[in-house]
Amino acid sequence: MKKLTISFLFISFVFIISCKKDKIENECLTVPQEEECQDIPPIGWTQTGYQWTKVLPYYETPHFNPNNSNELVFRLYENSGDQFFQLVKYNFTTQEIATIYQGDFAFPKWSKKDWILFSQSDFNIYKIKSNGDSLTQLTFSGNGASADWNLKGDQFIYANISNNSSIILSEDGIPLDTIEGGSLPMSWQHDSLLASISPAWLYVQNSNSQELDFRIIHEINSGGTTRAEWLDSDNIIWAYNDGIFKSNIISNETVLLQESCDAKVYQYPTVSIISNKVIFQRTDKELIETEVNKGTATSRMFIMNFDGSEREEIILPQ
């Protein structure tokens, strides 16, 4: 086990009054705004797009231990010569950080039964104990991605990339159900509902495919969306290029918690119900003045309250 010193840097807020119809409908409130956050200028239609070089170490997709708010896991790409990603576990109290797995994996999710779920480059789903033991392959069809546990940790769901559906399985990989019409990453931290986000909508649907309950909560119209996560049975936290938002599924009200731009994009929230904290990965993009259509992408992690207040950066020394 490696030990690294990890500290928190408090980020000050600039508060503004924002009432933008293209961001929030019928809502005008004071929200923290990113300092000097300007959108990346659009690229010419004859060009293929910007080329972003990751600034290493690059860490992403954090996820809380549901049993201990002092722990989380995340994916780390540390050196340019590394062949695989590292699955890293970090303890806020002891400040210990350990690599528990190395491979070409994505989207680790920690269950109440202490299993960490992830997809591999072979598009199958695996689980591993948080101490790095008992790596187990759960699917063999080669069509799985973006898996998530349910609240109890006795079932999981994954997106079937071969068709527009999602598959529900037992914790041991036994198929239980299929949900047609949805193959995006879904959050299942709710008794009965799944939350998902697409470039067009934030929506929820019933986890029982026999009871179709597809409801649009908020329209988005953006290509910069990632994941949504449940804060509780009624509220979802999510983000895209314009910032961090909270939506209530009962009132269908959406509020802006943190304004941002496509140069500083919040992604992949993870929620701790124990501490009422949420962590976001943020990708900061900056163009290189001396290069044409090239820039750098730096990953950062921020922890904050459910309302976006008391935001602090988690800083890992390089």
49: which 2 tokens? 């797009």
Summarised one tens digit per residue, pLDDT across range 168-209 is 999 999 999 998 877 788 999 999 999 999 888 999 999 886
Q: How many CA atoms lie within 13 A of 219 on its CB side?
A: 4
CA-closest candidate to residue 89, choices 55, 58, 64: 64
Q: What is the pLDDT of residue 175?
A: 96
Flag whether pLDDT at 27 surpasses 50.
no
Torsion of CA 44, 47, 52, 53, to 10 degrees: -140
293: which 2 tokens? 């259509």
- Average pLDDT along the chain: 86
**Distance separating alpha carbons of residues 54 and 46, to the nearest angstrom:** 24
DSSP 192-211: SEEEEE-SSEEEEEESSTTS
Tell me which of 20 and 271 has the higher pLDDT.
271
Q: Is 8 helix (H, G, I), strand (E, B) or coil?
A: strand
Let me know if domain 2-42+53-315 sits in CATH 2.120.10.30. yes
**Distance separating alpha carbons of residues 181 and 229, to the nearest angstrom:** 20
* Chain mean position to CA 163: 23
> Where are the chain's structural domains?
2-42+53-315
Answer whether 234's CB lies under 8 Å from 248's CB. yes
Q: Which of 116-120, 127-131, 217-221 is predicted least confidently?
A: 217-221
**Edge to edge, what strands does the sheet with 215-219 contain?**
186-187, 193-197, 201-206, 215-219
* Chain mean position to CA 148: 11
Answer whether 265's CB lies under 8 Å from 282's CB. yes
Q: What is the pLDDT of residue 7?
A: 33
Summarised one tens digit per residue, pLDDT across range 270-298 is 999 999 999 999 999 999 999 989 999 99
Residues belonging to the chain: 318
Single-letter residue type at 47: Q
Single-letter residue type at 200: A
- Highest mean pLDDT: which range of 37-41, 73-77, 220-224: 73-77
Summarised one tens digit per residue, pLDDT across range 205-262 is 998 866 557 899 999 977 677 899 999 999 999 999 899 999 999 999 999 999 999 9
Answer whether 145's CB lies under 8 Å from 156's CB. no
48: which 2 tokens? 């293929």
CB atoms within 10 A of CB 93: 9
90: which 2 tokens? 């970090």
